[in-house]
A and B are shown apart, each in its own frame.
Chain A
Amino acid sequence: MIIPRVPVQHRRLLPDRRLSGPTPWVIAILMTLTLLAAAAGIGLARSAGAIGDAIAGRVTVQIVTANPVTRAEQAAALRRAAAAQPYVRTARAVEQAELLATLGQWFGGEDGDDPVLKSLPLPALIDVDFVGGERAGQLDRLRALVAETAPGARIIPHAEWLGPVARLIRSLAWVAGGLVVLMILASAAVVIMTARAALGTHYATIEMLHLIGATDRQIARLFQRRIAIDTAYGIALGSAVAAAILLLIGWQWSRVTAGLAATASLGAAGWALLLALPLLAIALAALTARQTLLAALKKIL
Protein backbone atom coordinates (compact mmCIF):
# COMPACT_ATOMS: atom_id res chain seq x y z
CA MET A 1 0.00 0.00 0.00
CA ILE A 2 1.38 3.42 -0.95
CA ILE A 3 0.08 5.20 2.16
CA PRO A 4 -0.05 2.69 5.02
CA ARG A 5 -3.16 2.43 7.14
CA VAL A 6 -2.44 3.46 10.69
CA PRO A 7 -5.13 3.56 13.42
CA VAL A 8 -6.20 7.09 14.34
CA GLN A 9 -4.95 6.69 17.91
CA HIS A 10 -1.51 5.65 16.64
CA ARG A 11 -1.36 8.60 14.24
CA ARG A 12 -1.53 10.92 17.23
CA LEU A 13 1.88 9.65 18.33
CA LEU A 14 3.32 12.21 15.93
CA PRO A 15 2.23 15.81 16.37
CA ASP A 16 -0.06 16.98 13.58
CA ARG A 17 2.04 19.54 11.73
CA ARG A 18 1.18 18.74 8.16
CA LEU A 19 2.59 21.00 5.43
CA SER A 20 4.60 22.88 8.02
CA GLY A 21 7.99 21.91 6.63
CA PRO A 22 9.57 22.59 3.26
CA THR A 23 9.17 19.05 1.93
CA PRO A 24 5.77 19.38 0.18
CA TRP A 25 6.85 22.61 -1.49
CA VAL A 26 10.21 21.27 -2.66
CA ILE A 27 8.51 18.14 -3.95
CA ALA A 28 5.90 20.31 -5.73
CA ILE A 29 8.62 22.26 -7.55
CA LEU A 30 10.51 19.10 -8.48
CA MET A 31 7.30 17.43 -9.66
CA THR A 32 6.41 20.39 -11.86
CA LEU A 33 9.86 20.35 -13.45
CA THR A 34 9.78 16.55 -13.80
CA LEU A 35 6.45 16.60 -15.62
CA LEU A 36 7.49 19.46 -17.89
CA ALA A 37 10.76 17.71 -18.74
CA ALA A 38 8.89 14.45 -19.31
CA ALA A 39 6.36 16.18 -21.56
CA ALA A 40 9.16 17.84 -23.52
CA GLY A 41 10.96 14.51 -23.84
CA ILE A 42 7.85 12.69 -25.02
CA GLY A 43 6.98 15.46 -27.49
CA LEU A 44 10.50 15.55 -28.88
CA ALA A 45 10.75 11.77 -29.11
CA ARG A 46 7.46 11.59 -30.99
CA SER A 47 8.54 14.42 -33.24
CA ALA A 48 11.84 12.70 -33.99
CA GLY A 49 9.96 9.47 -34.62
CA ALA A 50 7.52 11.18 -36.96
CA ILE A 51 10.31 12.88 -38.90
CA GLY A 52 12.28 9.65 -39.02
CA ASP A 53 9.32 7.72 -40.39
CA ALA A 54 8.63 10.47 -42.91
CA ILE A 55 12.15 10.79 -44.20
CA ALA A 56 13.49 7.29 -43.89
CA GLY A 57 11.98 5.99 -47.09
CA ARG A 58 11.21 9.11 -49.06
CA VAL A 59 13.04 10.67 -51.99
CA THR A 60 12.10 13.49 -54.32
CA VAL A 61 13.01 13.28 -57.98
CA GLN A 62 13.60 16.69 -59.50
CA ILE A 63 13.21 16.84 -63.31
CA VAL A 64 14.85 19.97 -64.66
CA THR A 65 14.47 19.41 -68.40
CA ALA A 66 14.21 22.86 -70.02
CA ASN A 67 11.35 22.04 -72.40
CA PRO A 68 8.15 22.19 -70.32
CA VAL A 69 6.31 19.71 -72.51
CA THR A 70 9.14 17.16 -72.39
CA ARG A 71 9.49 17.81 -68.68
CA ALA A 72 5.80 17.08 -68.10
CA GLU A 73 5.98 13.93 -70.23
CA GLN A 74 9.05 12.70 -68.35
CA ALA A 75 7.37 13.42 -65.03
CA ALA A 76 4.23 11.52 -65.97
CA ALA A 77 6.24 8.58 -67.35
CA LEU A 78 8.48 8.43 -64.28
CA ARG A 79 5.51 8.58 -61.91
CA ARG A 80 3.81 5.71 -63.72
CA ALA A 81 6.99 3.63 -63.94
CA ALA A 82 7.92 4.24 -60.29
CA ALA A 83 4.42 3.41 -59.05
CA ALA A 84 4.65 0.06 -60.83
CA GLN A 85 7.86 -0.93 -59.01
CA PRO A 86 7.46 -3.47 -56.20
CA TYR A 87 9.84 -1.54 -53.96
CA VAL A 88 7.79 1.69 -54.24
CA ARG A 89 4.81 2.26 -51.99
CA THR A 90 3.62 5.50 -53.56
CA ALA A 91 4.80 7.83 -56.27
CA ARG A 92 3.14 11.24 -56.39
CA ALA A 93 3.66 14.13 -58.76
CA VAL A 94 3.82 17.42 -56.87
CA GLU A 95 1.25 19.76 -58.43
CA GLN A 96 2.52 23.02 -59.95
CA ALA A 97 -0.02 24.92 -57.84
CA GLU A 98 1.49 23.39 -54.70
CA LEU A 99 4.96 24.48 -55.81
CA LEU A 100 3.74 27.98 -56.58
CA ALA A 101 2.04 28.21 -53.21
CA THR A 102 5.21 27.12 -51.45
CA LEU A 103 7.43 29.51 -53.39
CA GLY A 104 4.84 32.26 -53.01
CA GLN A 105 5.59 32.38 -49.31
CA TRP A 106 9.00 33.82 -50.25
CA PHE A 107 8.09 35.68 -53.45
CA GLY A 108 5.07 37.44 -51.99
CA GLY A 109 2.26 35.97 -54.05
CA GLU A 110 0.88 33.02 -52.15
CA ASP A 111 -2.06 32.61 -54.51
CA GLY A 112 0.40 32.11 -57.38
CA ASP A 113 -0.69 35.02 -59.54
CA ASP A 114 2.55 36.96 -59.20
CA PRO A 115 4.00 37.51 -62.70
CA VAL A 116 7.60 36.98 -61.52
CA LEU A 117 6.61 33.78 -59.81
CA LYS A 118 4.72 32.61 -62.87
CA SER A 119 7.73 33.27 -65.07
CA LEU A 120 10.04 31.06 -63.01
CA PRO A 121 11.12 27.81 -64.70
CA LEU A 122 9.85 25.40 -62.04
CA PRO A 123 11.09 21.81 -62.05
CA ALA A 124 8.73 18.85 -62.00
CA LEU A 125 8.88 17.02 -58.68
CA ILE A 126 7.95 13.40 -58.00
CA ASP A 127 7.76 12.26 -54.34
CA VAL A 128 8.58 8.58 -54.05
CA ASP A 129 7.98 6.55 -50.87
CA PHE A 130 9.75 3.19 -50.66
CA VAL A 131 8.29 0.14 -49.02
CA GLY A 132 10.23 -1.13 -46.01
CA GLY A 133 13.44 -2.86 -46.95
CA GLU A 134 17.02 -2.29 -47.92
CA ARG A 135 17.23 1.42 -48.75
CA ALA A 136 20.54 1.49 -50.67
CA GLY A 137 19.38 -1.17 -53.10
CA GLN A 138 16.00 0.52 -53.58
CA LEU A 139 17.75 3.81 -54.25
CA ASP A 140 20.08 2.21 -56.81
CA ARG A 141 17.13 0.68 -58.66
CA LEU A 142 15.28 4.01 -58.64
CA ARG A 143 18.40 5.74 -59.99
CA ALA A 144 18.47 3.28 -62.87
CA LEU A 145 14.78 3.86 -63.53
CA VAL A 146 15.23 7.64 -63.46
CA ALA A 147 18.25 7.48 -65.80
CA GLU A 148 16.12 5.51 -68.24
CA THR A 149 12.91 7.53 -67.97
CA ALA A 150 14.08 11.08 -67.24
CA PRO A 151 17.78 11.46 -67.96
CA GLY A 152 19.41 14.31 -66.08
CA ALA A 153 16.86 14.29 -63.24
CA ARG A 154 18.20 14.64 -59.70
CA ILE A 155 17.29 12.31 -56.85
CA ILE A 156 17.14 13.96 -53.39
CA PRO A 157 16.87 11.52 -50.44
CA HIS A 158 15.12 13.37 -47.61
CA ALA A 159 17.21 11.62 -44.99
CA GLU A 160 20.27 13.47 -46.24
CA TRP A 161 19.03 16.90 -45.24
CA LEU A 162 16.48 16.14 -42.50
CA GLY A 163 18.47 13.35 -40.81
CA PRO A 164 20.69 15.64 -38.70
CA VAL A 165 17.61 17.54 -37.51
CA ALA A 166 15.93 14.29 -36.47
CA ARG A 167 19.08 13.19 -34.67
CA LEU A 168 19.30 16.53 -32.85
CA ILE A 169 15.67 16.27 -31.75
CA ARG A 170 16.27 12.70 -30.61
CA SER A 171 19.29 13.85 -28.59
CA LEU A 172 17.20 16.57 -26.96
CA ALA A 173 14.58 13.95 -26.07
CA TRP A 174 17.30 11.90 -24.34
CA VAL A 175 18.48 15.00 -22.48
CA ALA A 176 14.89 15.57 -21.30
CA GLY A 177 14.71 11.93 -20.20
CA GLY A 178 17.97 12.38 -18.28
CA LEU A 179 16.54 15.44 -16.57
CA VAL A 180 13.49 13.42 -15.51
CA VAL A 181 15.74 10.76 -13.98
CA LEU A 182 17.86 13.38 -12.19
CA MET A 183 14.80 15.10 -10.76
CA ILE A 184 13.34 11.80 -9.59
CA LEU A 185 16.65 11.11 -7.84
CA ALA A 186 16.55 14.60 -6.31
CA SER A 187 12.99 13.94 -5.09
CA ALA A 188 14.13 10.66 -3.53
CA ALA A 189 16.99 12.53 -1.84
CA VAL A 190 14.51 15.05 -0.42
CA VAL A 191 12.40 12.20 0.96
CA ILE A 192 15.48 10.56 2.52
CA MET A 193 16.50 13.83 4.18
CA THR A 194 12.93 14.38 5.38
CA ALA A 195 12.79 10.88 6.87
CA ARG A 196 16.12 11.34 8.65
CA ALA A 197 15.11 14.77 9.93
CA ALA A 198 11.82 13.35 11.21
CA LEU A 199 13.66 10.61 13.07
CA GLY A 200 15.96 13.18 14.62
CA THR A 201 13.10 15.46 15.64
CA HIS A 202 11.08 12.66 17.20
CA TYR A 203 13.98 10.62 18.59
CA ALA A 204 12.67 10.76 22.18
CA THR A 205 9.27 9.45 21.08
CA ILE A 206 10.88 6.70 19.01
CA GLU A 207 13.10 5.67 21.91
CA MET A 208 10.10 5.49 24.20
CA LEU A 209 8.08 3.50 21.65
CA HIS A 210 10.96 1.05 21.33
CA LEU A 211 11.22 0.66 25.09
CA ILE A 212 7.54 -0.21 25.45
CA GLY A 213 7.84 -2.86 22.77
CA ALA A 214 7.02 -1.17 19.46
CA THR A 215 8.52 -2.91 16.46
CA ASP A 216 10.50 -1.12 13.76
CA ARG A 217 7.64 -1.73 11.34
CA GLN A 218 5.12 -0.09 13.67
CA ILE A 219 7.31 2.98 14.08
CA ALA A 220 8.26 3.12 10.40
CA ARG A 221 4.59 3.00 9.34
CA LEU A 222 3.84 6.09 11.43
CA PHE A 223 6.54 8.12 9.73
CA GLN A 224 6.02 6.53 6.33
CA ARG A 225 2.39 7.55 6.40
CA ARG A 226 3.22 11.12 7.39
CA ILE A 227 5.95 11.47 4.75
CA ALA A 228 3.81 9.83 2.05
CA ILE A 229 0.93 12.23 2.75
CA ASP A 230 3.19 15.29 2.80
CA THR A 231 4.83 14.11 -0.42
CA ALA A 232 1.46 13.40 -2.00
CA TYR A 233 0.37 16.97 -1.26
CA GLY A 234 3.52 18.24 -2.98
CA ILE A 235 3.08 15.92 -5.93
CA ALA A 236 -0.59 16.91 -6.35
CA LEU A 237 0.31 20.59 -6.25
CA GLY A 238 3.24 20.16 -8.65
CA SER A 239 1.13 18.06 -11.00
CA ALA A 240 -1.64 20.65 -11.05
CA VAL A 241 0.80 23.44 -11.92
CA ALA A 242 2.47 21.29 -14.60
CA ALA A 243 -0.92 20.33 -16.05
CA ALA A 244 -1.94 23.99 -16.29
CA ILE A 245 1.34 24.86 -18.05
CA LEU A 246 1.06 21.90 -20.43
CA LEU A 247 -2.56 22.69 -21.31
CA LEU A 248 -1.60 26.30 -22.03
CA ILE A 249 1.33 25.23 -24.20
CA GLY A 250 -0.85 22.61 -25.87
CA TRP A 251 -3.47 25.24 -26.70
CA GLN A 252 -0.81 27.51 -28.20
CA TRP A 253 0.84 24.59 -30.00
CA SER A 254 -2.42 23.58 -31.63
CA ARG A 255 -2.20 26.80 -33.69
CA VAL A 256 1.22 25.83 -35.04
CA THR A 257 0.60 23.82 -38.20
CA ALA A 258 3.71 24.36 -40.25
CA GLY A 259 7.07 22.68 -40.40
CA LEU A 260 8.68 20.46 -37.78
CA ALA A 261 6.74 22.03 -34.92
CA ALA A 262 3.54 20.48 -36.22
CA THR A 263 4.99 16.98 -35.69
CA ALA A 264 5.36 17.48 -31.93
CA SER A 265 2.55 16.07 -29.80
CA LEU A 266 2.20 13.94 -26.68
CA GLY A 267 -0.24 11.33 -27.96
CA ALA A 268 -2.45 9.13 -25.80
CA ALA A 269 0.47 7.03 -24.52
CA GLY A 270 2.39 10.19 -23.62
CA TRP A 271 -0.51 11.61 -21.64
CA ALA A 272 -0.95 8.24 -19.92
CA LEU A 273 2.72 8.26 -18.95
CA LEU A 274 2.44 11.80 -17.62
CA LEU A 275 -0.60 10.80 -15.57
CA ALA A 276 1.24 7.75 -14.25
CA LEU A 277 4.34 9.72 -13.21
CA PRO A 278 2.76 11.36 -10.12
CA LEU A 279 1.45 8.00 -8.90
CA LEU A 280 4.84 6.42 -9.48
CA ALA A 281 6.42 9.34 -7.62
CA ILE A 282 4.17 8.81 -4.59
CA ALA A 283 4.96 5.10 -4.59
CA LEU A 284 8.68 5.81 -4.91
CA ALA A 285 8.52 8.35 -2.07
CA ALA A 286 6.71 5.92 0.22
CA LEU A 287 9.15 3.12 -0.60
CA THR A 288 12.17 5.40 -0.14
CA ALA A 289 10.82 6.67 3.17
CA ARG A 290 10.15 3.14 4.39
CA GLN A 291 13.61 1.84 3.50
CA THR A 292 15.31 4.93 4.98
CA LEU A 293 13.32 4.64 8.21
CA LEU A 294 13.88 0.91 8.62
CA ALA A 295 17.61 1.30 7.94
CA ALA A 296 17.85 4.13 10.49
CA LEU A 297 15.78 2.29 13.12
CA LYS A 298 18.01 -0.77 12.85
CA LYS A 299 20.85 1.33 14.23
CA ILE A 300 18.86 1.85 17.44
CA LEU A 301 18.70 -1.14 19.78
Chain B
Amino acid sequence: MVEFDSVGLRYGPDGEILSDISFNLQPGSFYFLTGPSGAGKTSLLKMLYLAQRPSRGIVRLFGEDLVAMPRQRLPGFRRRIGVVFQDFRLIPHLSARDNIALPLRIAGVSEEDLSGPVGEMLSWIGLSERADARPATLSGGEQQRVAIARAVIARPQLLVADEPTGNVDPEMAMRLLGLFEALNRLGTTVVVATHDIHLISRIDNAQMMRLEKGRLADPTGALRYPPNRA
Protein backbone atom coordinates (compact mmCIF):
# COMPACT_ATOMS: atom_id res chain seq x y z
CA MET B 1 0.00 0.00 0.00
CA VAL B 2 2.73 2.47 0.97
CA GLU B 3 6.35 1.97 0.00
CA PHE B 4 9.22 4.23 1.02
CA ASP B 5 12.60 3.37 -0.48
CA SER B 6 15.74 5.25 0.62
CA VAL B 7 13.71 8.38 1.24
CA GLY B 8 15.46 11.50 2.49
CA LEU B 9 14.01 14.86 3.42
CA ARG B 10 15.70 18.18 3.96
CA TYR B 11 14.31 21.67 4.46
CA GLY B 12 16.61 24.23 2.89
CA PRO B 13 20.37 23.90 2.72
CA ASP B 14 20.82 22.18 6.11
CA GLY B 15 21.33 18.46 6.56
CA GLU B 16 18.60 15.86 6.13
CA ILE B 17 15.86 15.62 8.75
CA LEU B 18 15.03 12.15 7.53
CA SER B 19 17.59 9.85 5.95
CA ASP B 20 17.34 6.52 4.20
CA ILE B 21 13.78 5.79 5.29
CA SER B 22 12.60 2.48 3.83
CA PHE B 23 9.45 0.57 4.75
CA ASN B 24 6.39 -1.14 3.33
CA LEU B 25 3.00 -0.61 4.95
CA GLN B 26 0.71 -3.59 4.52
CA PRO B 27 -3.00 -3.09 3.75
CA GLY B 28 -5.20 -3.45 6.82
CA SER B 29 -2.29 -3.19 9.27
CA PHE B 30 -1.92 -1.00 12.33
CA TYR B 31 1.33 0.88 12.92
CA PHE B 32 2.59 3.02 15.74
CA LEU B 33 5.26 5.55 14.87
CA THR B 34 7.33 6.48 17.90
CA GLY B 35 10.49 8.33 18.70
CA PRO B 36 11.74 11.27 20.70
CA SER B 37 10.70 14.82 19.94
CA GLY B 38 12.55 16.13 16.92
CA ALA B 39 13.16 12.67 15.50
CA GLY B 40 11.17 13.53 12.37
CA LYS B 41 7.83 11.83 13.07
CA THR B 42 5.71 14.73 11.86
CA SER B 43 7.88 15.16 8.75
CA LEU B 44 7.47 11.48 7.93
CA LEU B 45 3.71 11.73 8.43
CA LYS B 46 3.61 14.82 6.18
CA MET B 47 5.09 12.75 3.39
CA LEU B 48 2.56 10.01 4.12
CA TYR B 49 -0.42 12.36 3.83
CA LEU B 50 1.08 14.14 0.81
CA ALA B 51 1.74 17.51 2.39
CA GLN B 52 5.45 17.18 1.60
CA ARG B 53 7.46 15.64 -1.20
CA PRO B 54 10.73 13.86 -0.32
CA SER B 55 14.07 15.37 -1.27
CA ARG B 56 15.24 12.02 -2.55
CA GLY B 57 14.20 8.39 -2.75
CA ILE B 58 11.03 6.69 -3.93
CA VAL B 59 7.57 6.99 -2.41
CA ARG B 60 4.89 4.74 -3.84
CA LEU B 61 1.32 5.06 -2.66
CA PHE B 62 -1.49 2.79 -3.82
CA GLY B 63 0.89 1.49 -6.46
CA GLU B 64 1.91 4.81 -7.96
CA ASP B 65 5.12 6.80 -7.74
CA LEU B 66 4.26 10.01 -5.93
CA VAL B 67 7.60 11.75 -6.31
CA ALA B 68 7.20 12.39 -10.00
CA MET B 69 3.43 12.65 -9.93
CA PRO B 70 2.01 15.91 -11.35
CA ARG B 71 0.57 18.17 -8.68
CA GLN B 72 -2.92 18.15 -10.17
CA ARG B 73 -3.23 14.38 -9.56
CA LEU B 74 -2.53 14.66 -5.83
CA PRO B 75 -6.11 15.57 -4.73
CA GLY B 76 -7.38 12.21 -5.99
CA PHE B 77 -4.84 10.43 -3.79
CA ARG B 78 -5.47 12.68 -0.80
CA ARG B 79 -9.14 11.66 -0.88
CA ARG B 80 -8.00 8.12 -0.11
CA ILE B 81 -6.10 9.24 2.98
CA GLY B 82 -7.57 10.42 6.28
CA VAL B 83 -5.52 12.67 8.54
CA VAL B 84 -5.96 13.41 12.25
CA PHE B 85 -3.92 16.18 13.80
CA GLN B 86 -2.94 16.72 17.40
CA ASP B 87 -4.38 20.24 17.21
CA PHE B 88 -7.54 18.98 15.46
CA ARG B 89 -7.49 21.67 12.71
CA LEU B 90 -11.24 21.92 12.58
CA ILE B 91 -12.64 24.83 10.59
CA PRO B 92 -13.78 27.15 13.39
CA HIS B 93 -16.82 28.74 11.74
CA LEU B 94 -18.33 25.40 10.69
CA SER B 95 -20.46 23.21 12.93
CA ALA B 96 -19.34 19.73 13.96
CA ARG B 97 -21.71 18.33 11.33
CA ASP B 98 -20.26 20.52 8.55
CA ASN B 99 -16.68 19.75 9.57
CA ILE B 100 -17.39 16.04 9.37
CA ALA B 101 -19.22 16.40 6.04
CA LEU B 102 -16.36 18.36 4.46
CA PRO B 103 -14.49 15.48 2.73
CA LEU B 104 -17.72 14.19 1.20
CA ARG B 105 -18.71 17.65 -0.03
CA ILE B 106 -15.26 18.17 -1.54
CA ALA B 107 -15.61 14.79 -3.25
CA GLY B 108 -18.88 16.01 -4.79
CA VAL B 109 -21.33 13.88 -2.79
CA SER B 110 -24.81 15.40 -2.86
CA GLU B 111 -26.39 16.79 0.30
CA GLU B 112 -29.03 14.10 0.06
CA ASP B 113 -26.46 11.32 -0.01
CA LEU B 114 -24.19 12.67 2.70
CA SER B 115 -26.76 13.32 5.41
CA GLY B 116 -26.99 9.58 6.27
CA PRO B 117 -23.24 8.91 6.64
CA VAL B 118 -22.69 12.15 8.56
CA GLY B 119 -25.51 11.26 10.98
CA GLU B 120 -24.05 7.77 11.47
CA MET B 121 -20.61 9.22 12.07
CA LEU B 122 -21.94 11.68 14.64
CA SER B 123 -23.65 8.81 16.39
CA TRP B 124 -20.45 6.68 16.22
CA ILE B 125 -18.43 9.35 17.97
CA GLY B 126 -21.26 10.08 20.41
CA LEU B 127 -21.88 13.67 19.36
CA SER B 128 -25.31 13.49 17.73
CA GLU B 129 -26.62 15.94 20.32
CA ARG B 130 -23.88 18.43 19.55
CA ALA B 131 -24.00 18.23 15.77
CA ASP B 132 -24.62 21.96 15.34
CA ALA B 133 -22.01 23.10 17.86
CA ARG B 134 -19.02 25.10 16.69
CA PRO B 135 -15.57 23.69 17.56
CA ALA B 136 -14.90 26.47 20.06
CA THR B 137 -17.82 25.26 22.19
CA LEU B 138 -16.64 21.63 22.20
CA SER B 139 -14.20 20.10 24.68
CA GLY B 140 -10.78 18.89 23.53
CA GLY B 141 -11.93 15.30 23.43
CA GLU B 142 -15.07 16.21 21.50
CA GLN B 143 -13.06 18.22 19.00
CA GLN B 144 -10.67 15.31 18.52
CA ARG B 145 -13.59 12.94 17.91
CA VAL B 146 -14.96 15.33 15.29
CA ALA B 147 -11.51 15.47 13.69
CA ILE B 148 -11.37 11.67 13.62
CA ALA B 149 -14.87 11.48 12.16
CA ARG B 150 -13.84 13.94 9.44
CA ALA B 151 -10.76 11.84 8.71
CA VAL B 152 -12.64 8.57 8.33
CA ILE B 153 -16.03 9.53 6.87
CA ALA B 154 -14.88 9.02 3.30
CA ARG B 155 -13.68 5.53 4.24
CA PRO B 156 -9.98 6.20 3.55
CA GLN B 157 -7.65 3.34 2.72
CA LEU B 158 -4.96 4.92 4.87
CA LEU B 159 -5.48 6.80 8.15
CA VAL B 160 -2.62 8.90 9.48
CA ALA B 161 -2.85 10.35 12.99
CA ASP B 162 -0.25 12.68 14.49
CA GLU B 163 -0.32 12.51 18.30
CA PRO B 164 -4.11 12.14 18.28
CA THR B 165 -4.29 11.64 22.03
CA GLY B 166 -1.86 14.38 22.98
CA ASN B 167 -4.56 16.82 24.06
CA VAL B 168 -7.03 14.49 25.75
CA ASP B 169 -7.21 12.68 29.10
CA PRO B 170 -6.24 8.98 29.36
CA GLU B 171 -9.85 7.79 29.36
CA MET B 172 -10.62 9.73 26.21
CA ALA B 173 -7.34 8.52 24.68
CA MET B 174 -8.50 4.94 25.08
CA ARG B 175 -11.86 5.74 23.54
CA LEU B 176 -10.19 7.38 20.55
CA LEU B 177 -7.88 4.41 20.15
CA GLY B 178 -10.95 2.22 20.14
CA LEU B 179 -12.25 4.25 17.18
CA PHE B 180 -9.01 3.67 15.30
CA GLU B 181 -9.08 -0.01 16.07
CA ALA B 182 -12.66 -0.31 14.86
CA LEU B 183 -11.72 1.38 11.64
CA ASN B 184 -8.70 -0.87 11.24
CA ARG B 185 -10.95 -3.89 11.58
CA LEU B 186 -12.90 -2.55 8.61
CA GLY B 187 -9.71 -2.74 6.53
CA THR B 188 -8.17 0.69 6.84
CA THR B 189 -4.41 0.86 7.29
CA VAL B 190 -3.70 3.00 10.34
CA VAL B 191 -0.49 4.86 11.22
CA VAL B 192 -0.51 6.59 14.61
CA ALA B 193 2.40 8.73 15.77
CA THR B 194 2.53 8.78 19.56
CA HIS B 195 4.76 9.05 22.61
CA ASP B 196 2.30 7.12 24.73
CA ILE B 197 3.72 3.67 25.54
CA HIS B 198 0.50 2.59 27.29
CA LEU B 199 -1.44 3.26 24.14
CA ILE B 200 0.87 1.06 22.07
CA SER B 201 0.40 -1.92 24.36
CA ARG B 202 -3.37 -1.77 23.96
CA ILE B 203 -3.51 -2.82 20.31
CA ASP B 204 -2.82 -6.44 19.46
CA ASN B 205 -0.81 -7.07 16.31
CA ALA B 206 0.18 -3.42 16.01
CA GLN B 207 3.63 -2.91 14.55
CA MET B 208 6.11 -0.39 15.83
CA MET B 209 8.07 2.06 13.71
CA ARG B 210 10.71 3.89 15.70
CA LEU B 211 12.44 6.99 14.44
CA GLU B 212 15.66 8.22 15.99
CA LYS B 213 17.62 11.18 14.68
CA GLY B 214 15.86 11.00 11.35
CA ARG B 215 16.47 7.32 10.76
CA LEU B 216 14.04 4.44 11.02
CA ALA B 217 15.04 1.60 13.31
CA ASP B 218 14.40 -1.67 11.51
CA PRO B 219 16.92 -4.18 12.92
CA THR B 220 15.11 -7.25 11.61
CA GLY B 221 14.15 -5.75 8.26
CA ALA B 222 10.50 -6.52 9.02
CA LEU B 223 9.36 -3.01 8.09
CA ARG B 224 11.15 -3.03 4.78
CA TYR B 225 10.35 -6.64 3.92
CA PRO B 226 7.12 -7.57 5.74
CA PRO B 227 6.79 -11.30 6.37
CA ASN B 228 3.84 -11.86 4.08
CA ARG B 229 5.54 -10.01 1.19
CA ALA B 230 9.13 -11.17 1.65
Of chain A, the residue at the smallest CB distance from B99 is A208
Q: Taking the complex as formed, is B72 at the interface, i.e. its CB lies under 8 A from any CB of chain A?
A: yes
Roughly how many angstroms separate A83 CA and B94 CA in the complex, as a whole number? 84
Q: Taking the complex as formed, is A247 at the interface, i.e. its CB lies under 8 A from any CB of chain B?
A: no
CB distance from B41 to the nearest CB of A (A): 17
Chain B, residues 42-71, CB within 8 Å of chain A (1/0): the string is: 000000011111000000000000000001
Chain A, residues 178-205, CB within 8 Å of chain B (1/0): the string is: 0000000000000000000000000011
Residues of A within 8 A of B74 (CB): 301
Cβ–Cβ contact A211 & B78, under 8 A: yes
Cβ–Cβ contact A210 & B78, under 8 A: yes
Q: Taking the complex as formed, is A218 at the interface, i.e. its CB lies under 8 A from any CB of chain B?
A: yes
CB distance from B9 to the nearest CB of A (A): 13
Roughly how many angstroms separate A205 CA and B107 CA in the complex, as a whole number? 16
Cβ–Cβ contact B89 & A213, under 8 A: no
Instruction: Please tell me which one of the listed residues B72, B78, B93 contacts residue A212 in the complex, with CB atoms under 8 A apart.
Output: B78
Contact residues of B between 105 and 127, Cβ < 8 Å to A: 105-107, 111
Q: Taking the complex as formed, is B176 at the interface, i.e. its CB lies under 8 A from any CB of chain A?
A: no
Residues of B within 8 A of A208 (CB): 89, 91, 102
CB distance from A8 to the nearest CB of B (A): 9
Residues of B within 8 A of A205 (CB): 91
Q: Taking the complex as formed, is B178 at the interface, i.e. its CB lies under 8 A from any CB of chain A?
A: no
Known: A211-B51, A211-B83. A10 touches B105 (CB 8 A): yes
Known: A204-B89, A301-B52, A301-B71. A213 touches B94 (CB 8 A): no
Q: How many residues of B contact A (CB 8 A)?
A: 28
Instruction: Please tell me which one of the listed residues B52, B78, B98 contacts residue A213 in the complex, with CB atoms under 8 A apart.
Output: B78
Known: A15-B93, A301-B71. A212 touches B150 (CB 8 A): yes
Residues of A within 8 A of B154 (CB): 212
CB distance from B176 to the nearest CB of A (A): 19
Known: A13-B91, A204-B89. A298 touches B71 (CB 8 A): yes
Roughly how many angstroms separate A10 CA and B74 CA in the complex, as a whole number? 21
Q: Taking the complex as formed, is A5 at the interface, i.e. its CB lies under 8 A from any CB of chain B?
A: no
Instruction: Please tell me which one of the listed residues A12, A215, A298 contacts residue B94 in the complex, with CB atoms under 8 A apart.
Output: A12
Q: Taking the complex as formed, is A67 at the interface, i.e. its CB lies under 8 A from any CB of chain B?
A: no
Q: Taking the complex as formed, is A252 at the interface, i.e. its CB lies under 8 A from any CB of chain B?
A: no
Q: Taking the complex as formed, is B226 at the interface, i.e. its CB lies under 8 A from any CB of chain A?
A: no
Roughly how many angstroms separate A216 CA and B71 CA in the complex, as a whole number? 10
Q: Taking the complex as formed, is A209 at the interface, i.e. its CB lies under 8 A from any CB of chain B?
A: yes
Task: Name the residue among A204, A209, A213, A215 with the largest chain B CB count within 10 angstroms.
Answer: A213
- Counting chain A residues whose Cβ lies within 8 A of the other chain, the interface size class is 20 to 34
Roughly how many angstroms separate A143 CA and B77 CA in the complex, as a whole number? 87
Cβ–Cβ contact B103 & A301, under 8 A: no
Cβ–Cβ contact A301 & B53, under 8 A: yes
Roughly how many angstroms separate A116 CA and B24 CA in the complex, as a whole number? 114
Cβ–Cβ contact A211 & B49, under 8 A: yes
Cβ–Cβ contact A12 & B79, under 8 A: no
CB distance from B99 to the nearest CB of A (A): 9
Roughly how many angstroms separate A204 CA and B79 CA in the complex, as a whole number? 18
Roughly how many angstroms separate A298 CA and B72 CA in the complex, as a whole number? 9
Q: Taking the complex as formed, is A214 at the interface, i.e. its CB lies under 8 A from any CB of chain B?
A: yes
Q: Taking the complex as formed, is B13 at the interface, i.e. its CB lies under 8 A from any CB of chain A?
A: no
Instruction: Please tell me which one of the listed residues A7, A15, A210, A215 contacts residue B72 in the complex, with CB atoms under 8 A apart.
Output: A215
Residues of B within 8 A of A204 (CB): 89
Residues of A within 8 A of B15 (CB): none
CB distance from A255 to the nearest CB of B (A): 56
Q: Taking the complex as formed, is A20 at the interface, i.e. its CB lies under 8 A from any CB of chain B?
A: no
Instruction: Please tell me which one of the listed residues B51, B94, B106, B150 contacts residue A301 in the complex, with CB atoms under 8 A apart.
Output: B51
Roughly how many angstroms separate A209 CA and B75 CA in the complex, as a whole number? 10
Cβ–Cβ contact A13 & B49, under 8 A: no
Q: Taking the complex as formed, is B76 at the interface, i.e. its CB lies under 8 A from any CB of chain A?
A: yes
Residues of B within 8 A of A209 (CB): 102, 106
Cβ–Cβ contact B111 & A9, under 8 A: yes
CB distance from A204 to the nearest CB of B (A): 7
Which A residues are within 8 Å of any B CB, using their own CB? Answer: 7, 9-10, 12-13, 15, 204-205, 207-216, 218, 298, 301
Closest 9 CB pairs of A and B: A213-B79, A213-B78, A15-B93, A212-B103, A213-B75, A214-B106, A215-B75, A208-B89, A205-B91
